[in-house]
Amino acid sequence: MTISIWLPLTHEASSVVTMDASTELVSTHTTAPSKQPLPIVALAGIPNAGKTSLFNALSGLHYKVANYPGVTVEKRTTVCTLPSVGQITLVDLPGTYSLYGSSPDEILAAQYLLGQMTQERIPDLIVCVVDACNLDRNLYLVSQLIDFGYPVIVALTMTDVASRRGITVRPELLSRALQVPVVDISGQRKRVLGPLQAALQHFIADPSTIAPKRYGWCTCTQLIDHAKKLGSFQRQSASAPATDNDYDIAVGIGLLSGGVQGTTADIDTRTIELREQLAQAGIDASCFEVENRYKWIAQIVKRSVAFERPDHKTRTDKIDRIVTHKLWGSIIFILIMGMMFHSIFAWAGIPMDLIDSGFSYLQELIRKIVPAGNLQSLLADGIVAGVGSVIIFVPQIAILYLFISLLEESGYLSRAACLLDSVMRQIGLQGRSFIPLLSSFACAIPGVMSTRSIPSFGDRMVTMLIAPLMSCSARLPVFTLLIAAFIPNALVFGFLSLQGLVFLSLYLLGIIGATLVAYLLKSFYFRSEPDPFVMEVPPYRMPQLRSVVYQVWDKVFVFVKNAGTVIMACSILLWVLATYPTQENASPADAIASSYIGQIGQLIEPIVEPLGYDWKIGVGIVASFAAREVFVSSMALLHNLEDANEESESLLTAIRTARDPETNQLLYSLPTALSLMVFFVFACQCMSTLAVVRRETGSWNWPAFMFVYMTVLAYSAALLTYQLGIRWIT
Amino acid sequence: MIESITLIVITVAAFIFLALRSFRFVKRLRQGRLEGACGSCGCRPKNPGSNSL
């Protein structure tokens, strides 16, 4: 099979390069330093156009992709070897609609493309990824890049989706109109990357052969003259080396339209003067560029796209009529969330029991094989009990991530953000904050980072500060353990799991807490009206099995790896602290109480006692600062050591039946469990989250504030829960 | 005797592992490479390896 790529070699004519689509595509990554600077190829485009998918396909990496805008918020660079192209530096950029970005991720992309990043070489070639379904919006950036004189290759994505909507994009006509190469990369990777690589091979050798006409949209000579003067003035003020005059024009147009900021007060004054001169001539500089670029783009689209069914209602339109409906949409949203949390409990029971039985069998086996003594205790009560108590939650982790990846891949998240916009506005935020907050249910770190897609500083800060209140997956083992131990496994209304409902209410508690904190912050500190909410709503796509399975497998693998490394190491150290100094002829309970960990626990106990916790829980909370799951493994370890003389029992039974050695009363009650769950909902126990907030805000003040407010909130809420619980719950 | 030595080796190995991990965390913090730093959620991209194509 042969595929054509349209490569215009001159302004007037296009030529066709053909290659065999069955060409073997092998790309390998290397970080080996190269003496010659490698050619830099940057991937640019609007959000959700498919840049990271292309980046992954070319480099063989596995960066996260999803069907909603704003997944990539950082510049990513890799060195890869492409067949017949050789080594290149490939750069993936956050999505931006134009070179005049407003949110931090857009500004980052624009700064890189405009060469404003010191220590960064400007790219030799830009592959602009263009979504064929929304050609108008995508071509704005292309036209700006052309004006700045970059060699641009347009990579068309989603032409298959566009065809189903009756939109036929003709790459050869688009290439002729734009005077840049256009490559269709929609469809299966293997088939479509060959033509792109052929184009890269052709133009990396001599990018200057891509020389489209610049400023094709601008017919106003007066504006061009003024822009040229202004751009040149800005360059001279910055003592920058001389560039081509056309580049100065592009900068000048940016200054006149307000998209580019002047570097000095003189430039600002000059800009205002020139704007006034243009206004006297009847030209509104602030909107001239936008209006005329879009007019020009409309002409290009008219020449290269055929609309067969302009009024055709797509499947996405039909689904959206229900899913984004004010009433039905809200009901569907609640049902999806409810089903997610119900499934985590309802579907995971059998595999969890199997894993539990497996680890119990392993403990018994160790006791039979290894002679009684400290080594046997370390292996059975320390390592196997500690690691096993965490591994048991793998099925639940898999179900949680299965739902998250299905929601991300389908395109539902953007709709949910639109639905929740009105709710978010009540607390002074906007719908755009929803996606970072939803990401935080998996992990707060990508959640905090994805706040870069929020243009407003105040909204961004508030979203960042409340993101860790969304219950991340690391809290899941703690919640599950306590719910399974203290909440009856009953059904509500005959079909809803009570345990699932309690689980959902913990997540809701986090959301309510976040809402209150956001309201307070917006009312007293970050006072500003929320920006209007504009978001790219992608078409629905059937989630790809391979991608979903990969995402779930990846998360499960990391969870298991973490259990086999960090949790195991923590369990070993905790076992040592709980076993030494050894006490001759002491009962296991007395021995552990007088161990190092017992002594530490008794120091902590006065602080945690009002919350209903004993010293073991206190130790577990402190240990969970290493990783939240360590709480579960430390509880398993301490109870195993305490019940060393008894028959092996599961952690659940051990917690349910634990008794105070002095009073023989049950040690843990429902109020204790509720108080502990509430503490874990609000507590900030993740060093990595604090570190990423430090990086995003550029100061330790905000992470310090976050830690203090979350700790105070967690302690107060847990105290209130326990004190009310012991009075009201018998 | 063998039991004591085994216990010491395991404990020291666990301690060194956690210490090295903490150092690596601080190093990543200084370099600003924090994606996936928590190590428990899998948000860190895969290391470069074989191409999936």
ipTM of the complex: 0.78
Q: How far apart are CA A537 and CA A686, in angstroms?
A: 33
Asked if residues A362 and A617 have their Cβ atoms less than 8 Å apart, the reply is no
Q: How confident is the model at residue A222 (pLDDT cuts 50, 70, 90)?
A: confident
Residues of B in contact with A562 (CB under 8 A): 39-40
- For residue B51, which residues of chain A lie inside 8 Å, CB to CB? 25-29, 59-60
Average pLDDT on B21-41 reads: 67
Please state the rounded mean pLDDT for residues A428-446.
81
Interface check for A686 against chain B (CB to CB < 8 A): the answer is yes
Record: contact B37-A688, CB cut-off 8 A: yes
Model pLDDT for residues A637-658, shown as the tens digit of each residue: 888 777 655 555 577 788 888 8
Task: Say if residue A548's pLDDT is above 80.
Answer: yes
Pair A517, A709: CB distance under 8 Å: yes
d(CA A67, CA A410): 6
Q: What is the pLDDT of residue A242?
A: 60
Residue B52 has pLDDT above 70, yes or no: no
For residues A361-384, one letter each, b for 16 or more C-beta atoms within 10 angstroms of the residue's C-beta and e for the rest, the string is ebbeebbeeeeeebbbbbbbbbbb
From chain B, pick out residues whose CB is under 8 angstroms from the CB of A64: 43, 45
- Residues of chain B neighbouring A31 (CB-CB closer than 8 A): 48
Closest CA to A222 of A252, A190, A178, A264: A252
Residue of B3, B5, B41, B47 to mutate for A, most A C-beta atoms under 10 A: B41
Please tell me the predicted confidence (pLDDT) of residue A440: 85
Three-state SS sequence of A449-512: HHHHHCCCHHHHHHHHHHHHHCCCHHHHHHHHHHHHHHCCCCEECCCEEHHHHHHHHHHHHHHH
Nearest to A464 by CA among A218, A695, A141, A162: A695
- The rounded percent of chain A whose pLDDT value lies above 70 is 92
A197, A136, A187, A137: which is closest to A158 by C-alpha? A187
Beta bridge partners of residue A627, listed in sequence order? none
Q: What's the confidence (pLDDT) of residue A268?
A: 85
Q: What are A439's two structure tokens? A: 């990401």
The contacts of residue A364 (CB under 8 Å, 6+ apart) are A648
Task: List CB contacts (< 8 A) between B36 and chain A.
Answer: 445
Hey, what are A541's tokens? 């796509």
Q: Residue A519 contacts by C-beta under 8 Å, 6 or more apart in sequence?
A: A427, A428
Contact A559 B17 (CB under 8 A): no
**In A, which residues are within 8 Å of B25 by CB distance?**
687-688, 691
The 10s digit of each residue's pLDDT in A580-622 is 888 777 788 888 888 999 999 999 999 999 999 999 999 999 9
Query: Which tokens sit at A181?
Result: 């190469």
Residue A265 has pLDDT above 60, yes or no: yes
pLDDT higher than threshold 90 for residue A397: no
| pLDDT (tens digit per residue) in A712-723 | 999 999 999 999
Give the number of other CB atoms < 10 A from CB of residue A636.
Answer: 29
Which of B40, B44, B46, B50 to mutate against chain A (most A CBs within 10 Å)?
Answer: B40
- Give mean pLDDT, residues A315-327: 88
Q: What is the pLDDT of residue A1?
A: 35
pLDDT of res. A467: 94
Residues 554-573 of A with CB under 8 A from B: 554-555, 557-559, 562, 565-566, 568-570, 572-573
Q: Report the alpha-carbon distance of residue A204 to residue A196 in Å, rounded.
A: 12
User: B18 vs A626: CB contact, 8 Å cut-off?
Assistant: yes
> Is residue A243 very low, low, confident or very high in pLDDT (cuts 50, 70, 90)?
low
The pLDDT, as a whole number, for residue A24 is 33
How far is the C-alpha of A597 from the C-alpha of A620, rounded, in Å? 10
Which residue of A572, A575, A580, A633 to mutate against B (max B Cβ within 10 Å)? A572
The residues in A 687-716 lying below 8 A from B, measured between CB atoms, are 687-689, 691-692, 694-695
Mark which residues 3-32 of B lie under 8 Å from A by CB. 3, 6-7, 10-11, 14-15, 17-18, 21, 25, 29, 32
The percentage of chain A sitting over the pLDDT mark of 90, rounded to a whole number, equals 27
**Within 10 Å of residue A204's Cβ, how many Cβ atoms?**
19
User: Nearest CA to CA, how far is A415 from chain B (Å)?
Assistant: 24
Q: Are A605 and A618 in contact (CB under 8 A)?
A: yes
Which residue reads 């945690």 in tokens?
A: A608
A397: closest chain B residue by CA: B41
Instruction: List all residues 6 or more positions away from A508 whose beta carbon is below 8 Å from its beta carbon.
Output: none
CA-to-CA distance for A201 and A542, rounded, in angstroms?
A: 34
Inspect the interface and report whether the beta carbons of A558 and B40 lie closer than 8 Å: yes
Report the pLDDT value the prediction gives residue B48, as an integer from 0 to 100.
34
Tokens coding A388: 């096993």
pLDDT for A152 equals: 93
Contacts of A398 in chain B (CB under 8 A): none
**A549 lies within 8 A of chain B by CB:** no
* pLDDT for position A16: 34
Nearest C-alpha neighbor of A91 from the set A105, A109, A65:
A109
pLDDT band at A25 (very low <50, low <70, confident <90, very high): very low
Closest-CA residue to B39 (of A638, A691, A379): A691
Rounded CA-CA distance A627/A595 in Å is 23
Among residues A428, A473, A479, A420, which one has the least CA distance to residue A447?
Answer: A473
Across residues A497-503, what is the average pLDDT?
Answer: 84
Mean pLDDT of chain B: 69
More confident site: A633 or A428:
A633
Residue A468 pLDDT > 90:
yes
The pLDDT, as a whole number, for residue A10 is 36
Across A58-215, where does the E strand assignment appear? Answer: 76-82, 86-92, 125-131, 152-157, 167-169, 182-184
- In angstroms, the separation between the Cα of residue A495 and the nearest Cα of chain B is 31
The predicted model gives A382-396 an average pLDDT of 90
pLDDT in tens, A123-146: 999 999 999 988 999 999 999 999
Compare CB distances from A190 to B3, B18, B53 and report the shortest one's residue: B53
**pLDDT value of residue A266:** 84
- B38, B46, B50, B52, best to mutate vs chain A, most A CBs in 10 Å: B38
Q: Among A2-11, A149-158, A214-223, A339-348, which range has the highest average pLDDT?
A: A149-158
CA separation for the pair A468, A446 (Å, rounded): 11
From A637, A620, A449, A416, select the one nearest A535 (Cα to Cα). Answer: A416
Mean model confidence pLDDT for chain A: 84
**Span A107-134, average pLDDT:** 87
Residue A533 has pLDDT above 90, yes or no: no
DSSP strand E in A64-222: where? 76-82, 86-92, 125-131, 152-157, 167-169, 182-184
pLDDT of residue A149: 87
Q: Which of B25, B41, B45 sits opposite A443 (nearest CB)?
A: B41
State the nearest Cα–Cα gap between B20 and chain A, in angstroms.
11
- The DSSP H or E segment spanning A386 is helix A385-391
Among the partner residues B7, B18, B48, nearest to A378 by beta-carbon distance: B7
> Which residues in chain A touch residue B52, judged by CB atoms under 8 angstroms apart?
56, 60, 62
**pLDDT range class, residue A702, cuts 50, 70, 90:** very high
Q: Test B18 with A570 for CB contact under 8 angstroms.
A: yes
Chain A residues whose beta carbon lies within 8 Å of the beta carbon of residue B3: 373-375
pTM of full prediction above 0.80: no
pLDDT at A647: 54
Is the pLDDT at A3 greater than 70, yes or no? no
- For residues A142 and A154, is the Cβ–Cβ distance under 8 A? yes
Tell me the two tokens of residue A524: 């007293």
Q: With beta carbons under 8 A apart, name residues in chain A contacting B41.
A: 442-443, 445-446, 472-474, 555, 558
pLDDT at res. A678:
96
Which residue is closest to A628 within chain B, CA to CA? B40
Q: Which whole number is the average pLDDT over A354-373? A: 91
Nearest chain A residue to B52, by CA: A60
**Nearest Cα residue to A422 out of A434, A413, A436:** A434
To test the contact with chain A by mutation, choose from B4, B11, B24, B43 the residue with the greatest count of A C-beta atoms within 10 A, namely B43
Neighbours of B19 (CB within 10 A): 11
Q: How far apart are CA A136 and CA A536, in angstroms?
A: 13
Higher pLDDT among residues A78 and A239, named by residue: A78
Angle formed by the axes of helices A349-369 and A394-410, nearest 10°: 150
A–B interface: beta-carbon pairs under 8 A: 125
Among A90-99, A431-440, A509-518, name the one with the lowest average pLDDT. A431-440
Please tell me the predicted confidence (pLDDT) of residue B35.
Answer: 55
The pLDDT of residue A32 is 45
Q: A70-97, pLDDT tens digit by residue? A: 777 788 888 888 887 888 999 999 999 9
Average of per-residue pLDDT across A215-239: 82
Min CA distance, A664 vs chain B (Å)? 34
Q: Which of B3, B14, B49 sits opposite A573 (nearest CB)?
A: B14
What residue in B sits closest to A561 (Cα-Cα)? B40
Average pLDDT estimate for A379-403: 90
SS3 A42: strand
Determine the distance in angstroms separating the CA of B48 from the nearest CA of chain A, rounded to an integer.
Answer: 6
